[in-house]
Amino acid sequence: MNFTFTEDQLLFQESVRDFLVNEVTAESIRALWEADTGRSDALWQQLTELGLTAMTVPEAMGGLGMTALDFILIAQECGYVALPAPLVHIALVAVPLLDQLSGDSGEAIKQQWLPAIAEGRAKVMVGLEQNTFVEDAHTADLLILQKGQALYALTPEQFSYTLNESVDPSRKLYSISWQTSDAKLIAEGGQAQCLIDGAINRGALGVAAEALGLSQRMVDMTVSYTADRQQFGKPIGSFQAVKHLMANVAVKLEFAKTPVYKAAYAVAEQLSSANVNVSHAKLAATEVAQLAARNTMQSHGAMGYTWEVDLQIFMKKAWVYNNAWGVVAWHQGRVSDFVFADQTAIGAGSTFVA
């Protein structure tokens, strides 16, 4: 069996990486911190022109009809540059949720919003009770919010929002004030719960993929820094203690990639193991991101924590992602419930058993 990504997937990842590294710089991110919305319409238009906003939108709705497995490498690159835009949220959370709506009202919403997302004309954000605050509500054209076991759709005039300051200035989180009487009910009961469960998994998967990119970026920045910084007439990167700090991250990073890619496959194929696969991926990826933040800051010395050093952009995003889309204990609970359940098939002998 071939478990690798296709040549086309890897080539597309490379082209997106080249674009993002050139366009999304530390300087441009810092500039957006001072902007009113913290977001760039010009950057969003560029992402649209690359086809990224259309990737997971069904072909019948003007999109490319790709899956979470196709998008996971792109999400990783978004993490690598700490992308200050809600692309991963929309592609992995909002679009699949909209696409799974049923009935006449659901079909009408899909027809209205999915083509607009694909064309870059609309942003749809999802707020669940699992997360206290809603991302990018201030620029959303439509919010999908959970109230108990029901989901509602709201346009901007139907809600108000209050900014909640985050340790990561690029992360725009809002508390939402709204009334169910003003909103449109789009799903309830079992159907809504199924959509909510799927959205939680996809949100956690997106965070896990971005955490991989963040970890790699912090390592790359630190390797470059320690090659230039000298002590005792030698680059500090040549010292064994510093090498070990980076090697420890690199090893964990490689081991974290497999569960993230497996989770993307499980979500795309709607496997029964998707819950535990996603939680495993989230735990592994955010753990290595935390280690990367700690070790790279140590390698930079005391200045690694300062506002002037670009490393802080990526460290802070790694910190806030640790408990986004499910706190650590919640994901650990899902994994432990699976591992300790009766008749659970685990171990090498069960790896390739369907």
Per-residue pLDDT tens over the stretch 101-156: 988 888 999 999 999 999 999 999 999 998 889 999 999 999 999 999 999 999 99
Whether residue 244 is predicted with pLDDT greater than 90 in this model: the reply is no
3 state SS for 39-70: CCHHHHHHHHHCCCCCCCCCHHHCCCCCCHHH
Whether the model pTM is above 0.85 = yes
Is 115 part of any domain? no
Is 231 part of any domain? yes
Instruction: Look at the block and give the residue holding tokens 């499980």.
Output: 266
User: What is the DSSP code (8-state) at residue 127?
Assistant: E
Is 172 part of any domain? no
Is 47 part of any domain? no
Whether residue 241 is predicted with pLDDT greater than 70 in this model: the reply is no
Instruction: Look at the block and give the residue holding tokens 């019948």.
Output: 60
Does the CA dihedral 304-307-308-310 come out positive or negative?
Answer: positive
Neighbours of 20 (CB within 10 A): 23
Is 347 part of any domain? no
Is 139 part of any domain? no
Domain hosting 298: range is 191-339
Is 285 part of any domain? yes
CATH of the domain at 320: 1.20.140.10
pLDDT tens sequence across 221-234? 988 877 656 566 67
Is 130 part of any domain? no
Whether residue 239 is predicted with pLDDT greater than 70 in this model: the reply is no
Domain tally for the chain?
Answer: 1
